[in-house]
Amino acid sequence: MLTPLPSPPLPSPRPQPEINARLNGLLRSMGMANDDFVTRTTGCPNGCARPYMAELAFVGSGPSAYQVWLGGSPDQAERTAQPMPSLFKMPFDDLEKTCEPIFAMWKSQRLSPEEALGDFAHRVGIDAVEGFMGAYTAGDYAKLPNPFAPEPMAAPDASVGIDAALLAKLAEEAGARDIEPAALLEMIVREAIEA
pTM, two decimal places: 0.78
Evaluate whether 110 touches 146 at the Cβ level (below 8 Å). no
On whether residue 83 sits in a domain, the answer given is yes
CATH number of the domain that 67 lies in? Answer: 3.30.413.10
Task: Please state whether 4 falls in left (phi above 0), alpha (psi between -120 and 50) or beta.
Answer: beta
Q: Are 149 and 179 contacting, i.e. CB atoms less than 8 angstroms apart?
A: yes
Q: Are residues 75 and 132 in the same domain?
A: yes
**Cβ(17)–Cβ(40) below 8 Å:** no
Using DSSP, state whether 119 is helix, strand or coil: helix
pLDDT at 48: 76
CB contact at 8 A, 133 and 101? yes
Task: Provide the residue-wise pLDDT of the chain in tens; the chain has 195 residues.
Answer: 454 555 444 345 578 889 999 999 999 999 999 899 999 888 877 777 788 889 999 998 888 899 999 999 998 888 889 999 888 899 999 999 999 999 999 999 999 999 999 999 999 999 999 999 999 999 999 999 889 887 766 666 666 677 778 888 888 888 888 888 888 888 888 888 886
Domain that holds residue 192: 150-195
Q: Which residues of 89-116 are buried (b: 16+ CB within 10 A; e: fewer)?
A: ebebeebeebbbbbbbbbbbbbeeeeeb
The β-bridge partners of 65 are 91
Same-domain check for residues 94 and 162:
no
Give the number of residues written for the chain: 195
Residues 74 and 115: beta-carbon distance below 8 Å: no
Residue 8 lies in a domain: no
In a domain, 177, yes or no: yes
Q: Is 38 in the same domain as 103?
A: yes
User: What letters, b where the CB count within 10 A reaches 16 and e where it falls short, cover 158-181?
Assistant: eeeeeeeeeeeebeebbbbbbbbb
Distance (Å, whole) CA 195 – CA 182: 20
What is residue 116's predicted lDDT score, i.e. its pLDDT? 95
Residues 109 and 56 in one domain: yes
